[in-house]
A and B are shown apart, each in its own frame.
Chain A
Amino acid sequence: MIRSGATTVSSVSARADRQLEHRSHVSYIDKSREYYQAQGYEQAYRWAAFDEVPFVRPETPLGECNVAVVTTSFLHHHDSAFGAPATDKVVYHHPVADTPDRMFTDDLSWDKQATHTDDTESFLPLATLQALADDGVIGSLNDRFFGVPTQYSQRRTGLDADQVAEWCEEDGVDIALLVPL
């Protein structure tokens, strides 16, 4: 048995159910290009790609870290029976103590045939992190979580990223856990 932190690997067996002949993980860059080409958009989207990647090692032990979540889901509009975002989709923060049972995800391109987003913990793990904080695995769950709209414009996303960085610094966030839909 190999043990590393919270992760345990107890058995080693080959994937007899899937004998691979080609790469198994889905390429969404390929899929979306082919999909939009079929809609008549000849110009493929230019995805963000960088050689240099910033990297910091946390100086604080995990058991003392304040952890914040960043999501691409949005709060529901309180008055909407049909589902609509609570804002015109601008970068936002919201107290974790007031997390709604459902989040607005209808306009995002997750796989609506294969699954659903009715359980917010499957993409916004606030209760999970609170339980890990209660058990002493992390120091705390940050008092608020952060939401960013998905944009084709990487420049606009850069401005949203500046805002989230400012909020994280205000809150003394040590670790950000970012979860796209």
Chain B
Amino acid sequence: MCHQTVSLVARRLEAAGIATVVIGSARDIVEEAGVARFVFVDFPLGNPCGKPGDRSMQRSIVSLALDVVASSIAPRTTVQAPQRWGSDDWREAFMAVGDHNRDALRAAGERRRAHQAADATRQ
């Protein structure tokens, strides 16, 4: 949801004449919304500007984003940053749905709906 939020803000700013660039890791959400410029960092969600503590990587990624602002000639410019996270386990693990958690997810959804129904009754 964060990626949709900043994409909508980027579109509004660009319409106001302010050049924008989004640095993010959820490529599909940003590209569906449609922004002027996007630097895609193929990392798990949370550190789009570079790995924690890696000042050199952070400077490279932010510099790339500024280069993209200075050089882009058309909207929907996506540039993929070359940095790698180092492992790929997170791709499948994040928000995974499988036999190991299907019952727990169903139960969590039911608890949440019951909670929301109780809130609605109180109001």
Contact = CB atoms under 8 A, between A and B. Distances in A.
Interface stretch (A79-87, A92-100, A160-168): A160-168
A132 B66 contact: yes
Given A48-B8, A162-B12, A6 B63 contact: yes
Given A40-B110, A47-B4, A132-B62, A164 B71 contact: no
A178 B62 contact: no
Given A27-B28, A125-B49, A55 B74 contact: yes
Given A48-B8, A129-B62, A150-B1, A29 B29 contact: yes
A176 B20 contact: yes
Interface in A110-145: 110-119, 121-125, 128-129, 131-132, 137-138
Interface in B71-103: 71-76, 82, 85, 88-91, 93-95, 97, 101-102
A49 interface: yes
B45 A181 contact: yes
Interface residues of B, number: 83
A30 to B, nearest CB: 8
Contacts of B59: 128, 131-132
Given A26-B94, A70-B9, A174 B49 contact: no
A40 B89 CA distance: 26
Nearest to A112: B46
Contacts of B60: 6-7
Contacts of B18: 56, 165, 168-169, 173-176
Given A56-B18, A148-B6, A164-B9, A175 B28 contact: no
Contacts of A114: 44, 46, 85, 89-90, 93-94
A59 B5 CA distance: 26
Interface string B105-119: 110111011000000
A53 B11 contact: yes
Interface string B29-68: 1001111100010111111111111010011101111110
A179 B40 CA distance: 11
A70 to B, nearest CB: 6
A177 interface: yes
**Centre residue among B52, B60, B66, B112 by max chain A CB count within 10 A:** B66
B34 A18 contact: no
Interface in A51-86: 51-58, 62, 67, 70, 72
Given A40-B110, A119-B52, A176-B19, 6 more contacts: A24-B42, A35-B105, A58-B70, A149-B5, A177-B20, A178-B6
6 contacts: A38-B105, A70-B10, A111-B90, A132-B66, A158-B12, A165-B18
